[in-house]
């Protein structure tokens, strides 16, 4: 790695009984020094705004292919909405976490950096398996204890009823998962449907327990209100999982990186730096992007100016409209960003001195401020690590840093017979209060896919737009971010080559 790991980012919070609530988390992704720039009058081939997976991939691909590249990042770290806090050498994933060999772009990166084979960096979140599940469907009644096989049977039945809109578990709706819009007739029907619409259609087919468990799962999958969350997005994820319940759970919630996402991101960033073609400026939020036809000028909030022949903007959908573009953002791009996507889920980790909880899965929907939790590892101290998600449903939305006691109580409500003294650490990053994210992973609202997806991917003059938020395949996932970074990097490289040929002629 270019600089020693272990710096502390301004992002995130952790609570311990001894120190209380502390802002800022250690991570491999913090970059020191914060800038490496050539002379002030440098004109770069390409400037990339945003250092998440899309920006990192594009930076690496362009820098290593000989282009003079500048990476501008608002945070003090790489990773965007996917980063890990490495506490005592153990990664707590603040955002995107899980990977799978059916996600081709991230698996390619793991091969590239020798993180497979003998140097295997992939582990299971619940090694040894989740063998018991607790469900609390009724507020004034005792919890229900289920064996894992029972929980899977109920969940699989409910999800299959939800997605079976064609008698073939959705296969005819999205026959080609990486080209989800190909079936225009199906898109016209299902893109306008919300999860609420679909739940209403099948409400009489679901048992009370099936409904409780599928709603609990969906509430932390879409992270939004039922009427505000697209049913089509669920059908797309289901299709990417080969229209199969086991695949659906395995591809989205099972395998993670021992080195943490920040470990893989450092591999990508360090390769770009070692090319000697990458300059960077961190802690530099962008205020304006001015396309002057032959040159693009980027101005930071601090007044610092950068110039490049082309720009790749990887700012998340919910934040895109906060940057001033000249010429203005195309109307559909701006409208999509102002509307924003639906996901405002809360993600929260706990380290607890109870090894028996390692194999636990637990629901507390719809009453708990944390909705669903499961065992995610064993910390170096031998404690159990669990990860939980909380929905944005009215009345239960958790603001973990605003009321630590409420957060601790939410955890105790999830974990049976757990006392406050058993809780050794709480770790989290509140994404919907983060000005550079304003929400978690992408989950489109009804009608947004057909109305905005093509527009969001459209080039605007010398400015390209890339993000996991509008990737074609695993949109909203780590894989989608890398996919779109590769796309825009190739498009810009081709453009620069064509431009160079025209100048020579």
Binding residues for substrate: 389
Other beta carbons within 10 angstroms of residue 496's beta carbon come to 17
* Residue (of 196, 186, 190, 189) closest to 229 by Cα position: 196
Q: How far apart are CA 413 and CA 411, in angstroms?
A: 5
- For 425, the token pair is 């650490």
* Residue (of 433, 220, 235) closest to 318 by Cα position: 433
CB neighbour class for 299 (10 Å; exposed up to 12, middle 13-18, buried from 19):
middle
Residues making up the binding site = 54, 73-74, 286, 389
The distance from CA 58 to its chain's CA centroid, rounded to whole angstroms, is 18
User: Coil, strand or helix: which one is 253?
Assistant: helix
Q: How far apart are CA 169 and CA 163, in angstroms?
A: 6
Q: How far apart are CA 235 and CA 177, in angstroms?
A: 9
- For 92, the token pair is 């707590």
Q: How far apart are CA 458 and CA 447, in angstroms?
A: 18
**Cis bond upstream, residue 207 (ω within 30):** no
Residues making up the binding site for FAD = 54, 73-74, 286
* The residue to which tokens 């650490």 are assigned: 425
Helix 245-253 to helix 231-240 angle (10° resolution) is 90
* Rg of the chain over all Cα atoms, to the nearest angstrom: 23
- For 231, the token pair is 């049913």
* The residue to which tokens 């105790």 are assigned: 412
């Amino acid at each position: 790695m270019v600089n020693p790991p272990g710096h502390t980012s301004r992002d995130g919070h952790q609570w311990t009984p001894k120190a209380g609530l502390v802002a800022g988390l250690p991570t491999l992704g913090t970059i020191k020094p914060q800038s490496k720039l050539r002379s002030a009058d440098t004109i770069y081939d390409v400037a990339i705004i945003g250092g998440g997976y899309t920006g990192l991939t594009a930076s690496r691909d362009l820098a290593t292919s000989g282009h003079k590249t500048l990476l501008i990042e608002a945070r003090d770290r790489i990773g965007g909405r996917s980063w890990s806090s490495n506490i005592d050498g153990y990664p707590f994933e603040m955002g995107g976490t899980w990977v799978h060999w059916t996600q081709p772009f991230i698996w390619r990166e793991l091969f590239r950096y020798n993180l497979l084979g003998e140097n295997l960096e992939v582990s299971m979140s619940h090694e040894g398996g989740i063998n018991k599940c607790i469900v609390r469907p009724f507020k004034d009644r005792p919890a229900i204890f289920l064996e894992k096989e029972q929980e899977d049977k109920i969940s699989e039945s409910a999800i299959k009823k939800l997605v079976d809109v064609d008698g073939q578990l959705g296969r005819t709706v999205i026959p080609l998962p990486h080209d989800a819009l190909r079936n225009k007739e199906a898109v016209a029907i299902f893109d306008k449907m919300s999860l609420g619409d679909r739940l209403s259609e099948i409400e009489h087919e679901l048992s009370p327990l099936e409904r409780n468990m599928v709603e609990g799962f969906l509430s932390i999958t879409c992270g939004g209100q039922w009427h505000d969350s697209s049913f089509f997005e669920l059908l797309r994820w289901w299709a990417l999982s080969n229209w199969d319940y086991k695949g659906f759970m395995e591809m989205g919630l099972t395998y993670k990186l021992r080195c943490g996402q920040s470990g893989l991101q450092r591999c990508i960033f360090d390769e770009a730096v070692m090319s000697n073609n990458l300059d960077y400026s961190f802690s530099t939020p962008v205020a304006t992007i001015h396309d002057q036809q032959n040159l693009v000028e980027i101005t930071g909030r601090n007044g610092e100016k950068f110039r490049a022949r082309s720009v790749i903007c990887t700012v998340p959908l919910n934040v895109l409209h906060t940057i001033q573009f000249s010429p203005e953002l195309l109307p559909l791009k701006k409208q999509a960003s102002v509307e924003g996507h639906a996901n405002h889920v809360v993600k929260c980790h706990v380290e607890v001195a109870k090894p028996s909880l390692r194999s636990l899965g637990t629901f507390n929907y719809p009453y708990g401020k944390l909705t669903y939790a499961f065992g995610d590892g064993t910390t170096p101290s031998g404690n159990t690590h669990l990860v939980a998600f909380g929905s944005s449903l009215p009345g239960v939305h958790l603001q973990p840093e605003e009321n630590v006691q409420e957060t601790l109580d939410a955890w105790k409500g999830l974990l049976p017979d757990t006392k406050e003294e058993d809780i050794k650490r709480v770790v989290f990053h509140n994404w919907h209060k983060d000005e550079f994210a304003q929400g978690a992973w992408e989950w489109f609202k009804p009608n947004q896919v057909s109305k905005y997806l093509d527009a969001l991917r459209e080039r605007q003059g010398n400015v390209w737009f890339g993000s996991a938020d509008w990737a074609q395949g695993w949109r909203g996932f780590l894989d989608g971010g890398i996919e779109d970074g590769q796309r825009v990097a190739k498009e810009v490289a081709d453009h620069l080559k064509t431009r160079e040929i025209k100048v020579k002629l």
